[in-house]
Structure 1
Amino acid sequence: MSFNSRKISAEINRILFVKNLSYNVTSEELYDLFGRFGSIRQIRLGNAQGTKGTAFVVYDELQDAKTACDKLSGFNFQSRYLVVLYHQPDKNMLASAAAAQIPGSNGENADAVGATPKRRMEFS
């Protein structure tokens, strides 16, 4: 195996984004499930209308997050198949910036013409 093939992909990080959770899941249940793969720094469970059924899981160690993502993506938890992804804030910011672009030849963005920019998803 070459040195480059052992290198961890740039998309892998300590923060996992989890979707398709039961609306009734508790933080404690998520700590029990995700804690099997390593020490967890924080879990942010979405509880607003647009964020229910999602959570962010932050691990202390990169390798623990990778293992959890590999093992729990597609895992049946509370009769639902989990979708576990690496949080990619750069891609989210790029997507928001692209959505704010106004078609035309001058390339102005929405802020330049006074339109309201999209708000970032907030967890409470």
Structure 2
Amino acid sequence: MSTSSRKLQSEINRILFVKNLSYNVTSEELYDLFGKFGSIRQIRLGNAQNTRGTAFVVYDDIQDAKMACDKLSGFNFQNRYLVVLYHQPDKVAQTTSQGQGATNTEHKSMADIASTPRRQI
């Protein structure tokens, strides 16, 4: 396969943003589901009032993240249809400047995940 045919769209990255999760979902259940597509570096489950039902899933490999996004977007998990998107820091920064969305601190922490050492649970 040539290098040009392996290029991915610019929004594709290793960090997935998952919405429409059950408020009762555990990180272990998300590891079980998303781990079927590859090695996971980290999962951050939203627990604040405005982030419940969401999570960030960070893969070690971008191809694994792409496959998970392709296969799990719209997947029925715990009687809810998942919305799986690629994390887009530029859009987070844009909504932050308009007074909505994540704070700059949250934006930086997600951008720094790629350099976070891998943890075992």
Category of TM-score, reference length = shorter chain? 0.7 to 0.9
Partner of 1:26: 26
Tell me the amino acid that sits aligned with residue 90 of structure 1. D
Q: CA deviation at 1:46?
A: 0.5
Q: Which amino acid aligns with 1:53?
A: G
Q: Which residue of 1 aligns with 2:70?
A: 70
Secondary structure class of the residue paired with 1:23:
coil
In the alignment, the residues of structure 2 paired with residue 40 and residue 14 of structure 1 have an alpha-carbon distance, to the nearest angstrom, of 9
Say if 1:119 and 1:92 are closer, same or farther in 2 by CA, change over 3 A.
closer
CA 1:76–1:86 in structure 2 vs 1: closer, same or farther (change >3 Å)? same
Question: Against the structure 1 CA distance between its residues 46 and 119, is the aligned structure 2 distance closer, same or farther, given a 3 Å change threshold?
Answer: closer
Aligned length: 106
Aligned mates of 2:89, 2:69 — CA distance in 1: 17
Counterpart secondary structure, 2:13: coil
Give 1:21's aligned amino acid: L
Determine the C-alpha separation between the residues in 1 that align with 2:66 and 2:30. 16
- Name the aligned partner's letter for residue 91 of structure 1: K
Residues 44-84 of structure 1, C-alpha deviations (whole Å, 9 max, x = no match): 00011111000000000000000000000000000000000
- Structure 2, unaligned stretches of length 5 or more? 110-121
TM-score w.r.t. the length of structure 2 is 0.78
Q: Identical aligned pairs, as a percentage?
A: 75
Question: Does 1:120 pair with 2:103?
Answer: yes
Relative to the length of structure 1, the TM-score reads: 0.77
Aligned residue type for 1:120: T
Q: Secondary structure at the match of 1:36?
A: helix
Cα distance change, pair 24–92 in 1 and its aligned pair in 2 (3 A)? same
Residue aligning to 2:80: 80
1:88 CA drift (Å): 0.3
The corresponding residue for 2:37 is: 37
Q: Which residue of 1 aligns with 2:14?
A: 14
**Which residue type is aligned with residue 65 of structure 1?**
A
